[in-house]
């Protein structure tokens, strides 16, 4: 490991002795902290990869908590109100509260944590390091994966490509009562999907969808996936990334459930550093491990993640955006989509009974 680090440092023109010594100090401090506490979006396939951290860094215990972003932020806010600062990192998608947290000072910059040469090298990332960040300051919300974002998944056995071509078809009367949606009122993938619809089709489209189509609301993505693969509902809005359905498809279920990906918008998973993290050095080690080629390749292979690294093949080529157009897509996980996400929340609260 040390020889590889020195070789990489020489390649990028940095004093290998100094940088290697800094990393050794970080590792020593992380092992004194003895643990790192992370919250991750609900995904069994992500869990399979992200819990292997201790294999590469024995002596640093990983406390892994799986929950959706809305529940995590509500829980953390209550804890912080009574002076409890228990969390180091959050990994998963973004919603309005992600950037509201940033504005309130609940997030610390993650950019300074990028220390290993293979992680800090601008040339290792599609569009460069700055393009990874979704916040306006380019330092708080780091996207390590990306996928074309349509927000809709369809069972093609029940809704053919001729009958359901794009998300615009959601308001076709024939699909009334046949759509399940992740609850958009508090954030998450359902909120992001509605925000995308607002930005592309207008607020009236979302009003028609929520008021006329008898949409079934769920806050359990696994339940949504099961309903779709069991053919209870042929259409799911905001079910999340492809790994949600991939677990069922690995078991031979829902083989013809496909993402209706637009060609103009992207989303992705992010990592953020929580303010007053109890294990700052262990958090730094975890972030560098997460962004390493080795871990990103595992995420691609197991969870079908499309890494933002240039040296990792897409886990799902069908949903991978064109690297040459990365700056041209509508970035639904970025802060520029915040206003649409807030509007989507308001419409959800108004129209979902």
The model's pLDDT over 129-149, given as tens digits with 9 standing for 90+, comes to 999 999 999 999 999 999 888
Work out the percent of the chain whose per-residue pLDDT is above 70: 93
For residue 16, the model assigns a pLDDT of 52
- Specify the pairing of strand 89-92 against strand 35-40: parallel
On the question of pLDDT at 11 being above 60, the answer is no
On the question of pLDDT at 1 being above 70, the answer is no
Integer Cα distance of 210 and 204 in angstroms? 10
**Domains of the chain and any CATH numbers:** 2-147+267-331 (3.40.190.10), 149-266+337-351 (3.40.190.10)
On the question of pLDDT at 51 being above 70, the answer is yes
For the whole model, what pTM was predicted?
Answer: 0.81
Give mean pLDDT, residues 46-54.
96
Say if residues 120 and 128 touch (Cβ distance below 8 Å): no
For residue 13, the model assigns a pLDDT of 46
- Beta-carbon contacts of 121 under 8 Å, excluding residues fewer than 6 positions away, are 12
Integer Cα distance of 235 and 200 in angstroms? 20
Q: What is the pLDDT of residues 108-124, one digit of tens each?
A: 999 999 999 999 999 99
Q: What is the pLDDT of residues 168-227, one digit of tens each?
A: 999 999 999 999 999 999 778 899 899 999 999 999 999 999 999 999 999 888 899 899
């Amino acid at each position: 490991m040390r020889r590889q680090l020195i070789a990489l440092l020489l390649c990028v023109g940095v004093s290998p002795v100094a940088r290697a010594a800094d990393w050794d100090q970080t590792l020593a401090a992380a092992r004194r902290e003895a643990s790192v506490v992370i919250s991750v979006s609900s995904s069994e396939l992500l869990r399979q990869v992200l819990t292997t951290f201790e294999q590469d860094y024995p002596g640093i215990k990983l406390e892994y908590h799986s929950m959706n972003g809305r529940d995590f932020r509500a829980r953390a806010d209550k804890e912080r109100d009574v002076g409890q600062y228990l969390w180091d990192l959050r990994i998963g998608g973004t919603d309005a509260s992600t950037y509201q947290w940033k504005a309130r000072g609940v997030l610390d910059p993650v950019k300074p944590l990028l220390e290993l040469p293979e992680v800090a090298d601008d040339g290792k990332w599609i569009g460069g390091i700055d393009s990874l960040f979704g916040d306006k300051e380019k330092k708080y919300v780091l996207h390590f994966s990306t996928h074309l974002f349509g927000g809709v998944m369809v069972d093609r056995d029940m809704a053919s490509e001729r009958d359901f071509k794009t998300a615009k078809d959601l308001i076709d009367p024939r699909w009334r009562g046949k759509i399940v949606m992740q609850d958009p009122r508090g954030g998450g993938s359902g909120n992001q999907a509605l925000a995308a619809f607002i930005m592309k089709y207008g607020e009236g489209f979302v009003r028609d969808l929520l008021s006329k189509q008898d949409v079934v609301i769920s806050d359990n993505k696994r339940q949504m996936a099961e309903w779709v693969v069991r053919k209870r509902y042929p259409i799911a809005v905001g079910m999340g990334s492809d790994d949600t359905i991939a677990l069922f498809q690995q078991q031979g279920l829902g083989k013809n459930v496909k993402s209706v990906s637009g060609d103009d918008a992207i989303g992705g998973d992010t990592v953020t550093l929580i303010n007053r993290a109890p294990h700052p050095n262990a958090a730094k080690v975890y972030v560098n491990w997460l962004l390493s080629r080795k871990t990103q390749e595992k995420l691609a292979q197991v969870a079908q993640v499309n890494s933002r690294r240039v040296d990792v093949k897409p886990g799902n080529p069908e949903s991978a955006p064109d690297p040459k157009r990365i700056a041209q897509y509508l970035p639904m996980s970025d802060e520029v989509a915040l206003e649409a996400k807030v509007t989507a929340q308001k419409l959800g609260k108004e129209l979902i009974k």
